[in-house]
Every structure is written in C-alpha cells, then in structure tokens.
Amino acid sequence: MILEYYVLLRSVLKSKPDVRRCLKRCWHCRIFFLTHRRNCGRNKLGCPFGCQVTHRKRESTRRSVAYYQDPVGKKKKRDLNQRRRRSTPESSTPNEEGCLEEECEPRSEPMMEHLRLVVGLIEGRPISRSQILRLLRKVLRQHRMARVRRIDQIIDHLNRHPP
C-alpha cells in the first residue's frame, strides 16, 4: 500500500513540479507527504496519517496532568468529581436524524483535510469539503469492468478496507 502511495506521489511530483517544495517527511514515522504551502519552511511536521493526532493527544494529556497536579487544578477536579457523584445519570435517546448521511461521512476529519489539501495542490485551486465528499461517493460507487457478482465486490472491498 505504501508503494502504491509513493508511485502516486511521484507521478504527482512529475506532473506538477511546483508542488515539490510542499513535499515533507514526517518527523515521527519518516513517510513523505504533501503539506500546505504555508508549512513548506517548517521541519518538524507530523503526517496526516495518524502522527498529528497522536502527538496532539499526547500533548493534551501532558497539559491535563500538569494542570490537575497544580493546587488550583486539584480543587477544580475535586469539585467536578463531587458534582458527578451527586447527579443522576439521564437516559439518552439516540438521535435518528440524518443517520443515512452519517453513514456516508468519512470518520477521519484530519484525513479529509489532507485530501482537500492534496487535491487543491494538484488542481491548483481551492476545493471544498462537499466537493471531496461528492468525489469520494462517485469513486466508491463505481463498479469494476470485469464481470463479478456484487457481493464479491463488497467482500473484496471490505477485505481491502476493513471497518
């Protein structure tokens, strides 16, 4: 899969030489990726394939631990815990509005933003989130040229892209 990614990346760099300056290497996993033009001068960047999210979570946990070890934070945490113990759990009803739309929505927001960035760099124009979603629905809706039963296509797709 990484080899396919690098083949596509090289073909983009050949066809769009001005995008080469946006090529960066992740400081954590060392994979090459395209970044926004405003980040071209930065060196310590995380890739959008998981390193950014991991770093953000790790730093958030570090800040939270530091805050709650402070006397002010300890008092606030104690108050929050007491308030939680006093309240009774409410029964929540699932929201059924728009469930069909949620099924079509991608789960990874950072990956959507990366797709917007890369497609925008390749096409040389800004791309909206709705345009990316339409493009993904169109690509994922297409059938193969070979005659294969629909159920076999679905199983093959799930094997290649597990939930």
Structure confidence by residue, pLDDT tens digits, 56-74: 899 999 999 999 999 999 9
Alpha-carbon Rg for the chain, nearest whole angstrom, is 22
**Tokens 């805050």, located at residue:** 67
Instruction: Work out the mean pLDDT of the chain and round it to a whole number.
Output: 79
The dihedral sign for the CA sequence 132, 137, 143, 149: positive
Q: Kindly indicate the confidence band of residue 160, based on its pLDDT and cuts at 50, 70 and 90.
A: confident
Threshold 0.85, pTM exceeds: no
Q: Are strands 23-25 and 32-34 parallel, antiparallel or unpaired?
A: antiparallel
> What tokens does 23 get?
């090529």
Q: Kindly indicate the confidence band of residue 102, based on its pLDDT and cuts at 50, 70 and 90.
A: very low
Task: Show me where the domains of the chain are located.
Answer: 50-85
Q: Kindly indicate the confidence band of residue 18, based on its pLDDT and cuts at 50, 70 and 90.
A: confident
